[in-house]
Protein backbone atom coordinates (compact mmCIF):
# COMPACT_ATOMS: atom_id res chain seq x y z
CA UNK A 1 0.00 0.00 0.00
CA UNK A 2 1.16 3.49 -0.76
CA UNK A 3 0.35 4.96 2.64
CA UNK A 4 2.84 4.49 5.43
CA UNK A 5 -0.05 4.34 7.93
CA UNK A 6 -1.72 1.25 6.41
CA UNK A 7 -0.23 -2.11 7.33
CA UNK A 8 -1.27 -5.60 6.28
CA UNK A 9 -0.91 -8.90 8.05
CA UNK A 10 0.41 -11.79 5.99
CA UNK A 11 -3.12 -13.22 5.95
CA UNK A 12 -4.53 -9.98 4.58
CA UNK A 13 -1.91 -9.92 1.82
CA UNK A 14 -2.82 -13.48 0.84
CA UNK A 15 -6.52 -12.60 0.94
CA UNK A 16 -6.01 -9.69 -1.47
CA UNK A 17 -3.95 -11.85 -3.83
CA UNK A 18 -6.66 -14.52 -3.79
CA UNK A 19 -9.46 -11.99 -4.36
CA UNK A 20 -7.48 -10.49 -7.23
CA UNK A 21 -6.96 -13.92 -8.80
CA UNK A 22 -10.62 -14.81 -8.42
CA UNK A 23 -11.78 -11.61 -10.13
CA UNK A 24 -9.03 -11.84 -12.77
CA UNK A 25 -10.38 -15.17 -13.95
CA UNK A 26 -13.27 -13.22 -15.52
CA UNK A 27 -11.88 -9.71 -15.79
CA UNK A 28 -8.15 -8.98 -15.27
CA UNK A 29 -8.60 -5.20 -15.54
CA UNK A 30 -11.32 -5.21 -12.89
CA UNK A 31 -9.15 -7.32 -10.59
CA UNK A 32 -6.44 -4.68 -10.61
CA UNK A 33 -8.84 -1.77 -10.09
CA UNK A 34 -10.70 -3.66 -7.34
CA UNK A 35 -7.56 -4.15 -5.27
CA UNK A 36 -6.53 -0.52 -5.90
CA UNK A 37 -9.94 0.63 -4.64
CA UNK A 38 -9.50 -1.33 -1.42
CA UNK A 39 -6.06 0.24 -0.95
CA UNK A 40 -7.46 3.75 -1.48
CA UNK A 41 -10.35 3.13 0.91
CA UNK A 42 -7.95 1.73 3.53
CA UNK A 43 -5.95 4.96 3.43
CA UNK A 44 -9.10 6.93 4.25
CA UNK A 45 -9.82 4.62 7.17
CA UNK A 46 -6.20 4.94 8.32
CA UNK A 47 -6.76 8.69 8.63
CA UNK A 48 -9.98 8.04 10.59
CA UNK A 49 -9.62 4.59 12.19
CA UNK A 50 -12.75 4.89 14.31
CA UNK A 51 -15.12 5.34 11.40
CA UNK A 52 -15.39 1.64 10.55
CA UNK A 53 -17.98 -0.66 12.07
CA UNK A 54 -17.08 -1.95 15.53
CA UNK A 55 -16.65 -5.74 15.32
CA UNK A 56 -15.72 -6.44 18.92
CA UNK A 57 -18.26 -9.26 18.67
CA UNK A 58 -15.57 -11.10 16.68
CA UNK A 59 -12.32 -9.95 18.27
CA UNK A 60 -10.91 -7.29 20.53
CA UNK A 61 -10.28 -3.94 18.85
CA UNK A 62 -11.48 -5.13 15.39
CA UNK A 63 -13.39 -2.87 13.01
CA UNK A 64 -14.52 -3.36 9.43
CA UNK A 65 -15.54 -1.58 6.27
CA UNK A 66 -17.34 -2.93 3.23
CA UNK A 67 -16.15 -2.83 -0.35
CA UNK A 68 -18.70 -4.17 -2.83
CA UNK A 69 -19.41 -7.72 -1.65
CA UNK A 70 -16.23 -7.93 0.46
CA UNK A 71 -15.53 -6.89 4.03
CA UNK A 72 -12.15 -5.57 5.15
CA UNK A 73 -11.35 -6.25 8.81
CA UNK A 74 -8.81 -4.00 10.49
CA UNK A 75 -7.59 -2.67 13.81
CA UNK A 76 -6.19 0.74 14.72
CA UNK A 77 -2.41 0.40 14.54
CA UNK A 78 0.57 2.79 14.78
CA UNK A 79 -1.28 6.00 13.93
CA UNK A 80 -3.14 4.20 11.16
CA UNK A 81 -4.68 0.79 10.62
CA UNK A 82 -3.59 -2.81 10.23
CA UNK A 83 -5.69 -4.79 7.79
CA UNK A 84 -6.19 -8.19 9.36
CA UNK A 85 -8.30 -10.06 6.76
CA UNK A 86 -10.42 -9.50 3.64
CA UNK A 87 -13.40 -11.82 3.23
CA UNK A 88 -16.43 -12.18 1.04
CA UNK A 89 -19.41 -10.62 2.77
CA UNK A 90 -21.30 -13.84 2.06
CA UNK A 91 -19.10 -15.82 4.45
CA UNK A 92 -20.10 -16.53 8.02
CA UNK A 93 -17.15 -14.91 9.77
CA UNK A 94 -16.04 -16.56 13.00
CA UNK A 95 -13.58 -15.11 15.55
CA UNK A 96 -10.95 -17.77 14.84
CA UNK A 97 -10.84 -16.58 11.21
CA UNK A 98 -9.51 -13.18 12.33
CA UNK A 99 -7.07 -13.93 15.08
CA UNK A 100 -3.92 -15.98 14.52
CA UNK A 101 -2.98 -18.75 16.95
CA UNK A 102 -0.12 -16.61 18.30
CA UNK A 103 -2.57 -13.84 19.24
CA UNK A 104 -4.89 -16.22 21.08
CA UNK A 105 -2.27 -17.33 23.59
pLDDT along the chain (105 residues), means of 10: 76 95 95 93 93 93 95 92 93 82 43
pTM of the model: 0.87
Q: Alpha helices, DSSP H only, in the chain? A: 10-24, 28-47, 101-104
- Which pLDDT value is given to residue 91? 86
**Is residue 72 assigned to a domain?**
yes
**Is residue 64 assigned to a domain?**
yes
**Is residue 99 assigned to a domain?**
no
The total number of structural domains that make up the chain: 1
CATH no. for residue 61?
3.30.2310.20
Under a CB-based contact definition with an 8 Å cutoff, are residues 11 and 84 in contact?
yes
**Is residue 98 assigned to a domain?**
no
Domain residue limits at 12 = 6-93
**Is residue 47 assigned to a domain?**
yes
**Is residue 44 assigned to a domain?**
yes
Distance CA 41, CA 62 (A): 17
**Is residue 102 assigned to a domain?**
no
Amino acid sequence: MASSNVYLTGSARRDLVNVGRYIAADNPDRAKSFVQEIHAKAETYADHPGMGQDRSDLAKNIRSFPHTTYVVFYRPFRKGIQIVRVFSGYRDIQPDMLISKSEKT
